[in-house]
Amino acid sequence: MAAPQKIVIIGPAHPIRGGLAAFNERLARELIAQGHEVEIHTFSFQYPGFMFPGKEQYTSAPAPAGLRIKRSVHSLNPLNWRKTGLAIRRQRPDMVIVAFWMPLMAMSLGSLARIIRKNGHSRIVGLVHNLIPHEKRPGDAALTKYFVNSCHAFITLSREVLSDIRRLTDKPAAFAPHPVYDHFGDTLPAPEARRHLGLDEQGKYLLFFGFIRHYKGLDLLLQAMADPRIRAIGDLKLVVAGEFYEDRKKYEPLIGDNVKIVSDFIPDADVKYYFSAADLIVQPYRTATQSGISQMAYHFEKPMLVTHVGGLPEIVPDGKAGYVVTPDATAIADGILRFLEQPAGRFNAFIREQKGLYSWGHFVKTLESLQ
């Protein structure tokens, strides 16, 4: 994309909250910084209330300055798909980046892509966060194929997802690592962050961050915190900061006195406090493709403990940016103990070096290769 282009991003953005919205907004800013004209088309209606597992789909925060965001897409209304698709088709954008993360959205996003591409000009690039859902339902394969067939090319955030795409199509596709989320502010001194959160300034803190579903493995981490070897470390605490996307009751018996639960969506302005307060970010996932949490940890220069699933070991090399373990409570406890045995700052140099590789500029260059 050497010359300025007209680019449309279709996917979650303000007032929808969460990681997908943050990704699209940050990508738009990078494209604008490189001289392109960018517009985001987000959802006027994303999920029916009964299908959304969290408390609230939308944020009350003000709209991000400097971005053109239109609430134009209704995920379940074919008449809307036609109206919105025709409007974008008439604009003749050079590139349309369509964010895809679950089969439920395949009909709306795939239909929009099909309508827009009929102008014979717009290049449709699927930005695939996840192709095979963590929680499978009947019809997923057909819906996913419908979306894949609507695109000209694909960009993925993990090699695993790239492999999934290769099994369905030989269209152009490229992998670019999830860039670092750098819009949450700078790292604060740990004592300051802990005071802000009402935590003891001393001791060691682990952080589980993000929404809570079965595949995220919080129950495995809670079981690890109950390991006698972990409980014997009196000044070690786990902070769980995220909204429950399933029944909290099944976790309650596992929550010990060395665990603090903040069961709510964490606004962007508060993210820096949680990461700055932590010594180690733990991602005990049962399944994964990639994770924006890892890139937040890189931004705040924090070591990680991740499980050997999906693309996580690609992002967190074992013994360099932290540790990689099997998704098992005992193995997670072993990893925590291994981390605590290391001298402070053991991973700092590698994390700072690696952080520089995960740039938004590199991501845009990969998009350019798909033109």
The predicted structure's pLDDT at residue 106:
97
Handedness of CA 258, 260, 261, 267 (dihedral sign): negative
Asked whether the predicted pLDDT for residue 52 surpasses 90, the reply is no
The pLDDT mean for the chain works out to 93
The predicted structure's pLDDT at residue 183:
84
Report residue 292 as tokens: 């924006």
Q: Give per-residue burial for 23-50: e unless 16+ CB within 10 Å, then b.
A: bbbbbbbbbeebebebbbbbbeebbeee
The predicted structure's pLDDT at residue 231:
96
Q: How far apart are CA 207 and CA 205, in angstroms?
A: 7
Least confident of 16-30, 47-61, 306-320: 47-61
The owner of tokens 């394969």 is: 141
Q: Which helix (H) or strand (E) holds 35?
A: none
Q: How far apart are CA 84 and CA 108, in angstroms?
A: 10
What confidence category does residue 54 fall into, taking pLDDT thresholds of 50, 70 and 90?
A: low
| Beta strand residue intervals within the chain, DSSP E | 6-10, 37-45, 69-74, 95-100, 123-128, 153-156, 173-175, 204-209, 236-241, 259-262, 280-283, 304-307, 322-325
Coil, helix or strand for 9?
strand
The predicted structure's pLDDT at residue 327:
97
Asked whether the predicted pLDDT for residue 290 surpasses 90, the reply is no
Rounded mean pLDDT, 242-254: 92
Least confident of 39-48, 165-174, 271-280: 39-48
Residue 236 DSSP code: E
Residues 328-371: tens digit of each pLDDT = 999 999 999 999 999 989 999 999 999 888 899 999 999 989 97
* C-alpha Rg value of the chain to the nearest Å: 21
Contacts of residues 357-362 at CB distance under 8 Å and 24 or more positions apart, as own/partner, are 357/177, 358/177, 358/178, 358/179, 358/180, 358/295, 358/298, 359/179, 359/180, 360/26, 360/27, 360/29, 360/30, 360/179, 361/30, 361/34, 362/176, 362/177, 362/179
Closest CA to 336 of 212, 223, 224: 224
Coil, helix or strand for 183?
coil
The predicted structure's pLDDT at residue 57:
72
Complete domains list, the chain, with CATH = 6-180+358-369 (3.40.50.11930), 190-355 (3.40.50.2000)
Least confident of 150-154, 240-244, 262-266: 262-266
The predicted structure's pLDDT at residue 344:
86
Residues 85-111: tens digit of each pLDDT = 999 999 999 999 999 999 999 999 999
The predicted structure's pLDDT at residue 311:
81
Asked whether the predicted pLDDT for residue 50 surpasses 60, the reply is no
Report residue 257 as tokens: 């006195």
**Strands 69-74, 123-128: parallel, antiparallel or unpaired by DSSP?**
unpaired
Asked whether the predicted pLDDT for residue 227 surpasses 70, the reply is yes
Contact 175, 358 (CB under 8 A): no
Residues 202-221: tens digit of each pLDDT = 999 999 999 899 999 999 99
Rounded mean pLDDT, 223-242: 96
Whole-number percent of the chain with pLDDT over 90: 79
What confidence category does residue 48 fall into, taking pLDDT thresholds of 50, 70 and 90?
A: confident
Contact 212, 233 (CB under 8 A): no
Residues 123-166: tens digit of each pLDDT = 999 999 999 876 677 889 999 999 999 999 999 998 889 999 99
Rounded mean pLDDT, 174-181: 91
